[in-house]
Amino acid sequence: MIARLLPPARLLLGAMLLYNGLNHFAGPFMPFPEGSTPLAIQLMEALRFSALLDVAMGMQMAAGVAILVNRFAPLALAAVMPVNICGLYWALLLERSPTWSLCAGLAVALTALLMFALLHRYAAMLEPHPLALGESAEHRYETLYARSAGQTGGRDFALALLPLVAAAAFYHFLVPSVLGLWCLVVLMIPLAVLILRALQRMLVNPERQR
């Protein structure tokens, strides 16, 4: 019974997301919700001012296309679910609109249904300690950036430092000042762990630096 619901659910959700994105960028073909309660209006204005609304609508439009053509559907569903939940929060709790709450609730329900149907595709992500691409039991994110007890050699230290430097440059030059500053503060944690591991390597095995 559920298997029969999946194709129409996929088509309906894809069409809804694609239409919502096109309505924002190429329309409006129908009035876009602006909000009528103070909190709903404030949140919508903040999303517009920060351009996050464009990001959310762009994600919905791209996900709608992917879901309709049934390509990269697991990725599209996982990416668009947070956007749909935020839409439901706005409609149900801030705007308190029965119509928009129904539309947003339907989008969340359809996304959840399709994600559960594709649960086997997310199996690797749900493992307790999965290895990412290029990781091994000895060289993984936790050992380099989260656990200060251990040692990191010269080559591994340089390779691990590169993404931190790239992330720091991104937050410093491209992200607005306050948010970028907080992100840079957060990056100090993995940087400190990496430096501590390198120092332990130097102190314990000074002759084996590479």
First and final C-alpha spacing in the chain? 61
Closest listed residue to residue 144, CA positions, set 130, 159, 132, 129: 159
Backbone φ, ψ for residue 57 (5° rounding) = -70, -35
Structure tokens given for 183: 């992100």
- pLDDT of 4: 86
- Residue by residue, pLDDT tens for the chain (210 residues) are 677 889 999 999 999 999 999 999 998 888 888 889 999 999 999 998 888 899 999 999 999 999 999 999 999 999 999 999 999 999 999 999 999 999 999 999 999 999 999 999 988 778 887 777 777 777 788 888 888 888 888 888 998 899 999 999 998 888 877 888 899 999 999 999 999 999 998 888 655 544
How many CA atoms lie within 13 Å of 107's alpha carbon, on the beta-carbon side? Answer: 29
Is the overall model pTM greater than 0.85, yes or no? no
Distant-in-sequence, close-in-space partners of 144: CB < 8 Å, separation ≥ 6: 152, 156, 160, 190, 193, 194, 197
